[in-house]
A and B are shown apart, each in its own frame.
Chain A
Protein backbone atom coordinates (compact mmCIF):
# COMPACT_ATOMS: atom_id res chain seq x y z
CA UNK A 1 0.00 0.00 0.00
CA UNK A 2 1.24 3.46 -0.88
CA UNK A 3 1.80 5.68 2.14
CA UNK A 4 3.10 9.23 2.43
CA UNK A 5 4.19 10.81 5.68
CA UNK A 6 5.16 14.43 6.18
CA UNK A 7 7.57 15.44 8.92
CA UNK A 8 9.23 18.60 10.06
CA UNK A 9 9.11 21.34 12.67
CA UNK A 10 5.71 22.62 13.65
CA UNK A 11 6.99 26.09 14.50
CA UNK A 12 9.20 28.31 12.38
CA UNK A 13 10.27 31.88 13.07
CA UNK A 14 9.55 34.64 10.57
CA UNK A 15 12.29 35.18 7.97
CA UNK A 16 13.64 31.66 8.53
CA UNK A 17 13.26 28.64 6.27
CA UNK A 18 10.60 25.97 6.49
CA UNK A 19 11.87 22.48 5.70
CA UNK A 20 9.63 19.45 5.40
CA UNK A 21 10.19 15.84 4.42
CA UNK A 22 7.75 13.51 2.70
CA UNK A 23 8.63 9.87 3.26
CA UNK A 24 7.03 7.48 0.80
CA UNK A 25 6.56 3.76 1.37
CA UNK A 26 5.08 1.14 -0.89
CA UNK A 27 5.98 2.95 -4.11
CA UNK A 28 9.05 4.43 -5.74
CA UNK A 29 9.34 8.18 -6.15
CA UNK A 30 11.24 7.54 -9.39
CA UNK A 31 7.83 6.99 -10.94
CA UNK A 32 5.09 9.61 -11.07
CA UNK A 33 4.98 13.25 -10.07
CA UNK A 34 5.04 14.18 -6.38
CA UNK A 35 3.60 17.40 -5.10
CA UNK A 36 3.26 19.71 -2.15
CA UNK A 37 -0.05 21.34 -1.35
CA UNK A 38 -0.95 23.51 1.59
CA UNK A 39 -4.19 24.44 3.31
CA UNK A 40 -4.42 27.76 5.04
CA UNK A 41 -6.57 28.48 8.09
CA UNK A 42 -10.06 29.05 6.71
CA UNK A 43 -9.94 26.30 4.06
CA UNK A 44 -8.04 27.89 1.15
CA UNK A 45 -5.90 25.31 -0.65
CA UNK A 46 -2.79 26.10 -2.70
CA UNK A 47 -0.71 23.88 -4.94
CA UNK A 48 2.92 24.70 -4.27
CA UNK A 49 4.87 22.60 -6.73
CA UNK A 50 6.04 19.16 -7.75
CA UNK A 51 9.08 17.06 -8.44
CA UNK A 52 8.86 14.59 -11.26
CA UNK A 53 10.01 10.99 -11.62
CA UNK A 54 13.12 12.33 -13.37
CA UNK A 55 13.85 15.01 -10.78
CA UNK A 56 12.57 17.99 -12.72
CA UNK A 57 10.53 20.52 -10.79
CA UNK A 58 7.72 22.98 -11.32
CA UNK A 59 6.62 25.63 -8.86
CA UNK A 60 3.68 27.92 -8.31
CA UNK A 61 4.79 31.37 -9.49
CA UNK A 62 3.10 32.85 -6.39
CA UNK A 63 5.97 31.43 -4.38
CA UNK A 64 8.50 33.06 -6.68
CA UNK A 65 12.05 32.11 -5.79
CA UNK A 66 11.30 31.10 -2.19
CA UNK A 67 10.53 27.45 -2.90
CA UNK A 68 12.67 24.44 -3.63
CA UNK A 69 11.63 20.80 -3.94
CA UNK A 70 14.32 18.16 -3.96
CA UNK A 71 14.54 14.43 -3.38
CA UNK A 72 16.66 11.57 -2.12
CA UNK A 73 15.82 8.51 -4.16
CA UNK A 74 17.95 6.25 -1.95
CA UNK A 75 15.64 7.05 0.96
CA UNK A 76 12.51 7.39 -1.18
CA UNK A 77 11.90 10.85 0.21
CA UNK A 78 11.27 14.25 -1.24
CA UNK A 79 11.60 17.60 0.46
CA UNK A 80 10.10 21.05 0.59
CA UNK A 81 12.07 24.13 1.48
CA UNK A 82 10.34 27.48 1.70
CA UNK A 83 12.56 30.44 2.45
CA UNK A 84 11.89 33.78 4.09
CA UNK A 85 8.64 32.66 5.65
CA UNK A 86 6.08 35.04 7.09
CA UNK A 87 3.00 34.51 9.20
CA UNK A 88 1.09 34.09 5.92
CA UNK A 89 2.87 30.78 5.41
CA UNK A 90 1.11 29.33 8.45
CA UNK A 91 -0.76 26.33 7.05
CA UNK A 92 -1.12 22.58 7.03
CA UNK A 93 1.28 21.14 4.47
CA UNK A 94 0.50 17.99 2.51
CA UNK A 95 2.53 15.87 0.16
CA UNK A 96 0.71 13.87 -2.49
CA UNK A 97 1.25 11.59 -5.46
CA UNK A 98 -0.05 12.36 -8.94
CA UNK A 99 -1.55 9.57 -10.99
CA UNK A 100 -1.43 8.02 -13.59
CA UNK A 101 2.28 7.42 -13.90
CA UNK A 102 4.25 10.07 -15.75
CA UNK A 103 1.28 12.43 -15.91
CA UNK A 104 0.28 15.54 -14.03
CA UNK A 105 -3.32 14.45 -13.66
CA UNK A 106 -4.94 14.03 -10.26
CA UNK A 107 -3.60 13.50 -6.75
CA UNK A 108 -4.59 10.07 -5.52
CA UNK A 109 -2.56 9.43 -2.36
CA UNK A 110 -1.98 12.14 0.24
CA UNK A 111 -0.03 12.31 3.47
CA UNK A 112 -1.86 13.09 6.69
CA UNK A 113 -0.48 16.64 6.70
CA UNK A 114 1.75 18.58 9.06
CA UNK A 115 0.68 21.84 10.63
CA UNK A 116 3.31 24.56 10.49
CA UNK A 117 2.96 27.81 12.40
CA UNK A 118 5.14 30.79 11.60
CA UNK A 119 5.56 32.85 14.72
CA UNK A 120 8.27 34.54 16.73
Chain B
Protein backbone atom coordinates (compact mmCIF):
# COMPACT_ATOMS: atom_id res chain seq x y z
CA UNK B 1 0.00 0.00 0.00
CA UNK B 2 1.08 3.60 -0.57
CA UNK B 3 2.03 5.15 2.74
CA UNK B 4 0.90 8.74 3.13
CA UNK B 5 3.01 10.58 5.69
CA UNK B 6 1.19 13.68 6.80
CA UNK B 7 2.79 16.32 9.02
CA UNK B 8 2.40 17.86 11.47
CA UNK B 9 -0.03 15.87 13.56
CA UNK B 10 -1.16 18.99 15.41
CA UNK B 11 -0.97 22.56 14.17
CA UNK B 12 -1.72 25.45 16.54
CA UNK B 13 -2.68 28.61 14.69
CA UNK B 14 -3.81 32.13 15.41
CA UNK B 15 -6.84 33.45 13.60
CA UNK B 16 -5.73 35.37 10.54
CA UNK B 17 -2.50 33.42 10.34
CA UNK B 18 -1.12 31.16 7.62
CA UNK B 19 -0.27 27.47 7.89
CA UNK B 20 1.01 24.64 5.72
CA UNK B 21 0.37 20.93 5.92
CA UNK B 22 2.64 18.43 4.24
CA UNK B 23 1.74 15.09 2.73
CA UNK B 24 4.43 12.79 1.37
CA UNK B 25 3.74 9.51 -0.39
CA UNK B 26 5.91 6.40 -0.41
CA UNK B 27 5.72 6.27 -4.21
CA UNK B 28 4.88 8.63 -7.01
CA UNK B 29 1.22 9.53 -7.30
CA UNK B 30 1.42 10.24 -11.02
CA UNK B 31 -1.05 7.90 -12.69
CA UNK B 32 -0.40 6.25 -16.04
CA UNK B 33 -3.02 8.62 -17.48
CA UNK B 34 -0.83 11.57 -16.48
CA UNK B 35 -3.05 12.80 -13.65
CA UNK B 36 -2.03 12.97 -10.00
CA UNK B 37 -4.88 11.83 -7.78
CA UNK B 38 -4.00 13.58 -4.53
CA UNK B 39 -6.83 15.28 -2.69
CA UNK B 40 -7.33 17.22 0.54
CA UNK B 41 -10.26 17.02 2.95
CA UNK B 42 -11.31 18.83 6.10
CA UNK B 43 -13.35 17.12 8.76
CA UNK B 44 -14.94 19.54 11.16
CA UNK B 45 -16.11 18.28 14.55
CA UNK B 46 -19.30 16.28 14.25
CA UNK B 47 -19.33 16.44 10.44
CA UNK B 48 -18.32 14.21 7.58
CA UNK B 49 -15.17 15.00 5.58
CA UNK B 50 -15.56 17.77 3.03
CA UNK B 51 -13.51 18.06 -0.14
CA UNK B 52 -11.25 21.09 -0.35
CA UNK B 53 -8.74 20.38 -3.10
CA UNK B 54 -8.76 17.69 -5.78
CA UNK B 55 -5.94 16.53 -7.99
CA UNK B 56 -3.26 18.48 -6.13
CA UNK B 57 -4.32 22.04 -6.79
CA UNK B 58 -7.95 22.34 -7.89
CA UNK B 59 -10.27 24.02 -5.41
CA UNK B 60 -13.62 22.29 -5.09
CA UNK B 61 -16.82 24.25 -5.65
CA UNK B 62 -17.42 26.80 -2.90
CA UNK B 63 -13.98 26.47 -1.31
CA UNK B 64 -12.46 29.87 -0.54
CA UNK B 65 -9.26 30.91 -2.29
CA UNK B 66 -7.58 30.99 1.12
CA UNK B 67 -7.00 27.30 0.49
CA UNK B 68 -4.38 26.27 -2.03
CA UNK B 69 -2.69 23.02 -2.92
CA UNK B 70 0.60 22.36 -4.60
CA UNK B 71 3.18 19.67 -5.19
CA UNK B 72 4.10 16.88 -7.51
CA UNK B 73 5.32 13.30 -7.53
CA UNK B 74 5.56 12.35 -3.87
CA UNK B 75 5.53 15.71 -2.10
CA UNK B 76 2.40 17.78 -1.60
CA UNK B 77 1.36 20.80 0.46
CA UNK B 78 -1.89 22.38 1.54
CA UNK B 79 -1.67 26.05 2.49
CA UNK B 80 -4.31 27.96 4.37
CA UNK B 81 -4.01 31.71 4.59
CA UNK B 82 -5.98 34.09 6.80
CA UNK B 83 -7.24 31.23 8.97
CA UNK B 84 -10.84 31.63 10.11
CA UNK B 85 -12.68 29.83 12.93
CA UNK B 86 -14.55 27.60 10.45
CA UNK B 87 -11.20 26.23 9.21
CA UNK B 88 -10.56 24.38 12.46
CA UNK B 89 -10.73 20.60 12.37
CA UNK B 90 -8.76 17.66 11.04
CA UNK B 91 -7.21 17.79 7.57
CA UNK B 92 -6.52 14.65 5.55
CA UNK B 93 -4.75 13.94 2.31
CA UNK B 94 -6.04 11.07 0.19
CA UNK B 95 -4.42 9.34 -2.77
CA UNK B 96 -6.59 7.53 -5.33
CA UNK B 97 -3.84 6.86 -7.86
CA UNK B 98 -2.98 3.41 -6.53
CA UNK B 99 -5.15 0.64 -5.09
CA UNK B 100 -6.03 0.57 -2.32
CA UNK B 101 -6.67 4.27 -1.81
CA UNK B 102 -4.90 5.51 1.31
CA UNK B 103 -5.24 8.48 3.62
CA UNK B 104 -2.76 10.47 5.60
CA UNK B 105 -3.04 10.19 9.37
CA UNK B 106 -4.59 13.64 9.70
CA UNK B 107 -3.51 17.07 10.93
CA UNK B 108 -5.53 18.75 13.63
CA UNK B 109 -5.72 22.49 13.12
CA UNK B 110 -6.50 24.18 16.42
CA UNK B 111 -6.29 27.57 18.01
CA UNK B 112 -3.17 28.59 19.88
Contact = CB atoms under 8 A, between A and B. Distances in A.
A64 B16 CA distance: 46
A106 B106 contact: no
A45 B106 contact: yes
A105 B106 CA distance: 20
Interface residues of A, number: 21
Nearest to A107: B51
B96 A106 contact: yes
A104 B100 contact: no
A58 B101 CA distance: 11
A111 B48 contact: yes
Nearest to B102: A47
B105 interface: yes
A16 interface: no
Interface in B9-68: 37, 39, 41, 43, 47-51, 54-55, 60
Contacts of B101: 47
Interface string A89-120: 00000100010000011111011110000000
A46 B101 CA distance: 8
Nearest to B100: A60
A112 B90 contact: no
Interface string A27-49: 00000000000010001111100
A45 B43 CA distance: 11
B96 A105 contact: yes
Given A47-B102, A47-B103, A105 B54 contact: yes
Q: Which of A62, A105, A106 has the most CB of B within 10 A?
A: A106
A17 B60 CA distance: 36
A108 B96 contact: no
A39 B106 CA distance: 11
B78 interface: no
B51 A106 contact: yes
Given A94-B48, A105-B54, A106-B94, 10 more contacts: A44-B106, A45-B94, A47-B94, A47-B102, A62-B100, A105-B55, A108-B51, A110-B48, A110-B49, A111-B48
